[in-house]
Amino acid sequence: MLISRLLMRLREPRTWSVVALLALGAAGLWWWQHGDGQVPPYRTATLERGRITAAVSASGQVMPVTQVSVGSQISGQIRELFADFNSEVKAGQVIAQIDPQLIEFQVRQAQADLEAARSQVLIAQANVLASQAAVSRARVELAEAQRDLERKTDLVARGFIAQSEADRARALVNTSTEALRSAEAQAGVTAAQVQAAQATVKQREAALAQSETNLSRTRITSPVDGIVIKRAVERGQTVAASLQAPELFVIAQNLRDMRVEVSVDESDVGRIRPGQPASFTVDAFPGQTFEGRVEQVRKAAIAANNVVTYVAAVGFANRDGRLLPGMTANIRIETDVREDVLKVPNAALRVRIPGVEPAPAATRGEGESAPRGGARGRVHVLDAQGQPRAYAVRLGLTDGTHTELIPATADAAALQPGQKVVTGLPAAGNGSNGRGGTAPRLPF
């Protein structure tokens, strides 16, 4: 009964129209899903041979190779300025003058003190001569007293004079002996006074030299040949030199040979060595690249906000003088280079296709040694039928875009330049049929 009703409905024209529409819809859906086979289901890239350059990127400031801060060792008021920003100066050239009036008075006082000390030396020397004369007189008196004692002793023995006369002569000898000792001691005192006076003269000479040095320091001079890149004082300003010298000028010795002081993260500093080539850009000259070379990696660590960095100095020639001190440089230091290596886009290393696994490591040939290289990875290569095949590889040097490919199995050693590696599926909105459909993304 049911079959009879179906046959009766099939004889109706409207039923045939519905069937035809359903058939056309099914055909359209099949064509939409399978397409014409011209667009591959995977996004691919080509294996290449070429150069891989590993680099460390950082930023730093352009600085002169030699930069001298010129200060003042004395306090006073700036009376004259003889240099300004960008002034070219020579070593020994006067670039500022501090008011010297007060120090000139100190020099005059030191000179007067020195003259007074020298006069004290003359007085002490005269006293030495007087004391030496007193010593000579005391010796003469002692000799005369001794001769008189000898005569009187002889006369007493003969009975010509009394014993008391001989006793008085002996007492005079003793007195003269003590007088000689006193004169000799006084001569020693006067000699010491001369030495003290001479020492005072040296003190006054040192004080005078110090005052004259301070006077000369009122003339601020350039220590090197160079260019003034900073002036921190104005005419009439008072500078106070106490625990440290105030900075008046900063002079760059040479702006033709400069350097970039780069802050390098501690994770990258182990790859940086003196002599490595570097390139950098500055915001003042967009699109231009400047070349340099690492000169020094400083061992002093700089810790800020729990981040440890080290300073690397990159020297370069600034022959045209376009780069100025203080400019920010974005620098790239080449740490390693590999020539003529098989390289793969980094996107291909992130692809994972479910159900497609590389051959096990046991497939290496008999007696074949383990492959060199660092981290393990895999790539998916399309075979002749357009189907992906996974290969286990070791990853070598990377430049951030491509990575050196080192086959890790005997099968992977067959990887050759020109082969297509899978980098992903078509993006959403660009289905495999190429007509705006969508396709599921591979897991990355």
Domain at 399, CATH number: 2.40.420.20
Residue 17's pLDDT is what?
Answer: 58
Residue pLDDT, tens place only, 132-171:
999 999 999 999 999 998 998 988 888 888 898 889 989 9
Residue 25 covered by a domain: no
Residue 360's pLDDT is what?
Answer: 66
Residues 226 and 95 in one domain: yes
Residues 246 and 392 in one domain: no
Residue 18's pLDDT is what?
Answer: 52
Residue pLDDT, tens place only, 299-331:
999 999 999 999 999 999 998 889 999 999 999
Residue 241 covered by a domain: yes
Radius of gyration of the chain from its Cα atoms, rounded to whole angstroms = 51
Q: What is the 3-state secondary structure (H, E, C) of the chain?
A: CHHHHHHHHHCCHHHHHHHHHHHHHHHHHHHHHHCCCCCCCCEEEECEEEEEEEEEEEEEEEEECCEEEEECCCCEEEEEECCCCCCEECCCCEEEEECCHHHHHHHHHHHHHHHHHHHHHHHHHHHHHHHHHHHHHHHHHHHHHHHHHHHHHHHHHHCCCCHHHHHHHHHHHHHHHHHHHHHHHHHHHHHHHHHHHHHHHHHHHHHHHHHHHHHHCCEEECCCCEEEEEECCCCCCEECCCCCCCEEEEEECCCCEEEEEEEEECCCHHHCCCCCEEEEEECCCCCCCEEEEEEEECCCCEEECCEEEEEEEEEEECCCCCCCCCCEEEEEEEEEEEEEEEEEEHHHHCCCCCCCCCCCHHHCCCCCCCCCCCCEEEEEEECCCCCEEEEEEEEEEECCCEEEEEECCCCHHHCCCCCEEEEECCCCCCCCCCCCCCCCCCCC
In sequence order, which residues have a C-beta less than 8 Å from that of residue 333 and are 6 or more positions away?
Answer: 55, 56, 57, 58, 262, 272, 276, 277, 278, 294, 312, 314
| pTM of the predicted structure, to 2 decimals | 0.62
Residues 119 and 202 in one domain: yes
Residue 423 CA to residue 416 CA, distance in Å, equals 17
Residues 142 and 168 in one domain: yes
Residue 253's pLDDT is what?
Answer: 87
Cα torsion through 234, 239, 243, 244, rounded to 10: 30
What is the average pLDDT value for the chain, to the nearest integer? Answer: 84
Query: What mean pLDDT comes out for the span 259-267?
Result: 93
We report the CATH number of the domain holding residue 85 as 2.40.50.100
Residue 200's pLDDT is what?
Answer: 95
Query: What mean pLDDT comes out for the span 418-437?
Result: 60
Question: Which is more confidently placed, 274 or 20?
Answer: 274
In sequence order, which residues have a C-beta less than 8 Å from that of residue 402 and are 6 or more positions away?
Answer: 48, 50, 52, 343, 344, 345, 346
Residues 301 and 354 in one domain: no
Least confident of 255-264, 287-296, 391-400: 391-400
Residues 332 and 345 in one domain: no
Check whether 12 has a pLDDT greater than 80: no
Residues 111 and 202 in one domain: yes
Where does residue 119 fall: left (phi above 0), alpha (psi -120 to 50 degrees), or beta otherwise?
Answer: alpha
In sequence order, which residues have a C-beta less than 8 Å from that of residue 18 and are 6 or more positions away?
Answer: none
Residues 238 and 155 in one domain: no
Residue 440 covered by a domain: no
Question: CB 124: neighbour CB atoms within 10 A?
Answer: 20
Residue 444 covered by a domain: no
Last residue of a domain, one of 336, 355, 387: 336
Q: Give the range of the structural domain holding residue 417, as residue numbers without chain letter.
A: 43-52+339-424
Query: What mean pLDDT comes out for the span 61-78?
Result: 91
Exposed / middle / buried, residue 34 (Cβ in 10 Å: 0-12, 13-18, 19+)? exposed
Residue 405's pLDDT is what?
Answer: 86
Residues 346 and 391 in one domain: yes
Residue 5's pLDDT is what?
Answer: 54
Residue 394 covered by a domain: yes
Residue pLDDT, tens place only, 325-349:
999 999 999 999 989 899 999 999 9
Residue 325 CA to residue 379 CA, distance in Å, equals 48
Residue 33 covered by a domain: no
Residue 241's pLDDT is what?
Answer: 83
Last residue of a domain, one of 336, 354, 372: 336
Residue 398 CA to residue 345 CA, distance in Å, equals 10
Question: CB 444: neighbour CB atoms within 10 A?
Answer: 9
Least confident of 96-105, 128-137, 299-308, 417-426: 417-426
Residues 106 and 198 in one domain: yes
Residue pLDDT, tens place only, 361-410:
544 444 444 445 568 888 889 888 888 888 888 888 888 899 998 876 66
Residue 371's pLDDT is what?
Answer: 47
Q: At what angle do helices 163-216 and 101-158 cross, to 10 degrees?
A: 170
Residue 368's pLDDT is what?
Answer: 44
Check whether 442 has a pLDDT greater than 50: no
Residue 431 CA to residue 425 CA, distance in Å, equals 9
Residue 375's pLDDT is what?
Answer: 81
**In this structure, what token pair is assigned to residue 197?**
């006076």
Last residue of a domain, one of 251, 276, 302: 251
Least confident of 14-23, 117-126, 235-244, 411-420: 14-23
Amino acid type, 71? G
Residue 376's pLDDT is what?
Answer: 85
Residues 201 and 139 in one domain: yes
Residue 443's pLDDT is what?
Answer: 36
Amino acid type, 34? H
Check whether 428 has a pLDDT greater than 60: no
Residue 24 covered by a domain: no
Residues 246 and 295 in one domain: no
Residue 19's pLDDT is what?
Answer: 53
**In this structure, what token pair is assigned to residue 141?**
């008196």
Query: What mean pLDDT comes out for the span 205-216?
Result: 95
We report the CATH number of the domain holding residue 318 as 2.40.30.170
For 186-220, letters b (16+ CB in 10 Å) and e give: bbeebbebbeebeebbeebeebbeebbebbebbeb
Least confident of 43-52, 97-106, 164-173, 430-439: 430-439
Residue 398 CA to residue 418 CA, distance in Å, equals 19
Residue 437 covered by a domain: no
Query: What mean pLDDT comes out for the span 181-189?
Result: 92
Residue 147's pLDDT is what?
Answer: 93
Query: What mean pLDDT comes out for the span 257-266?
Result: 93
- Number of structural domains (the chain) is 4
